[in-house]
Homo-oligomer: A and B are copies of this chain.
Amino acid sequence: MIPTQDDFNQALERTKPFVHNTPILSSRLMNTMFGHQLFFKCENFQKMGAFKMRGAINAILQIPKDKRVMGVVTHSSGNFGQALALAAQQLNIPAYIVMPENAPKVKQEAVAFYGGQIISCASNTQARQATAEKIQEVHGAHFLHPSDDIDVILGNSTCAAELLDVHPDLDALFVPVGGGGIIAGTAIAGLYHSSPVKIFGGEPEQADDAIRSLAVGRIIKPKHTNTIADGLRTHLGDANFPIIQQCVDQIYPINESDILKHMKLVWQYLKIIIEPSCAVALAAVKQWPVSDKKIGVIITGGNVDLDNLPF
């Protein structure tokens, strides 16, 4: 169930030529504010603006070459669609991105910009799945899930690995929880790190399926997902749930006003553009009842529609 250290090391080597080793920022002012030493791993500076590039490229590279040339397909209205498009473009293979017909124009344009072929469908799960299946049949394209795929998770693990390489003495890593792909990847990096590092998540109260799933020991789908953290409106999957169960210390619920507050804090004091989804990780730091720790915070992405800001 849990990938081996070898799997982890190989993903690191495999993806290195295709991704940025993103900058790590810190701010004395933020340290004072939080009572910790904070190190922000800035995946908003990653190619296409989010960590999703890591999982996408690793997963594509794991498809056998003769199959890979037929292309890849996913359904995503968010960053994974863009990531898969760009990763496929780098490898010169087609990418078919199934998007709901009401997906924001800015997201459709981004997928198209990276060379992805957009296939519109009705805005419901059945239509998305049916459309993706049809593309697999017609084009022979390989389906990749945005977060519930062990190669995507291993690709994601390289982000925390880079951070721990620069700061090996971190006490804890804080990560947003949506589909579970980045926290599972981060947990794997922590597992194979040379010294113990705690793994914490932040999850919107308004989409708290992971917290509830961990409580009952099986995947629960969200009842409501009415959160401004639009990247976190999904639920855990079979590939990442056991990793999260075994390797994550705790996931903290974050209310909407704290998401907004911590998003603005980062914009104001770190001077970087982050998505609302990132803010749950920083907000979760406040709920860990300790102080004076060295903490890594994964800034997962910076793709915000500047004409529709939540404040």
Contacts and interface: CB of A to CB of B under 8 A. Distances in A.
Interface of A: 23, 25, 44-45, 49, 264, 267-268, 271-274, 302, 306-307, 309, 311
A302 B271 contact: yes
Contacts of A306: 264, 267-268, 311
Nearest to A269: B49
Nearest to A49: B271
A44 B273 CA distance: 12
A42 to B, nearest CB: 8
Contacts of A44: 271
11 contacts: A23-B23, A44-B271, A45-B271, A264-B306, A271-B273, A271-B274, A271-B302, A273-B273, A306-B311, A307-B311, A309-B309
Nearest to A45: B271
A15 to B, nearest CB: 18
A32 to B, nearest CB: 11
Given A25-B45, A49-B271, 16 more contacts: A23-B23, A44-B271, A45-B271, A264-B306, A267-B273, A267-B306, A268-B273, A268-B306, A271-B272, A271-B273, A271-B274, A271-B302, A272-B272, A306-B311, A307-B311, A309-B309
A80 to B, nearest CB: 18
